[in-house]
Amino acid sequence: MEKVAVFPGSFDPFTVGHESIALRALTIFDKIIIAVGYNASKKSFFTLEQRLSIIKKVFENEPRIEVISYEGLTVDLCKKIKVKNILRGLRTSADFEFERAVGQVNKAMLSDLETVFLLTTPEHTSVNSTVIRDILLHNGDPSQFLPKSINIKEYLPR
């Protein structure tokens, strides 16, 4: 049976850290579905369409990675598309505390669901979408923290 994991997140924007987790997970899973969360009441820096298009471009030559969007609970997405594994990355103990609560609550809601965590590689520990948004807001260049195939300027207002 094909082993599939959903990698959910806001990916605002998708970073080298996210890229590394998704690619490394392909050694464990046959297919990764990157699921970009949409929350109508939460303002994002990049629109949903931009976030989807950035991630699709990053993995345009990787057929084992699919990119979708969703609204609502990740467990409901997993039920709907019949996937039993959630993939998440861990950078710090703060990530761990947060992920532990979410992972345990998700498991309580959907008992055959497993959350699989990959530790970030040391060079990506400080890479953070919030910091990248701040660099962009102040006209800095965050390209070293973004996947090589992405020219973020194409997605910024002129």
Applying CB under 6 A, which part among 16-24, 25-33, 38-46, 51-59 lies near ligand ADP? 16-24
Interface with ligand ADP by CB under 6 A: which range of 4-12, 48-56, 62-70, 147-155? 4-12
| Partners of 78 in beta bridges | none
Nearer to ligand ADP, 27 or 158 (CB): 27
Q: Going by C-beta distance under 8 Å and a sequence separation of 6 or more, which residues neighbour residue 30?
A: 2, 3, 4, 64
66-105 positions binding ligand ADP, by CB under 6 A: 88-89, 91, 95
| Residue 10: closest CA among 79, 89, 121, 82 | 89
Given the complex with ligand ADP, which of 15 and 85 has the nearer CB atom? Answer: 15
Query: What is the SS3 assignment for 112?
Result: coil
Q: How far is CA 45 from CA 28, 134, 135, 149, in A?
A: 32, 10, 12, 20
Query: Count of residues binding ligand ADP (CB under 6 A)?
Result: 15
Kindly list the residues in this chain that would bind ligand ADP in the complex (CB under 6 A).
9-11, 15, 17-18, 21, 88-89, 91, 95, 120, 124, 127, 129
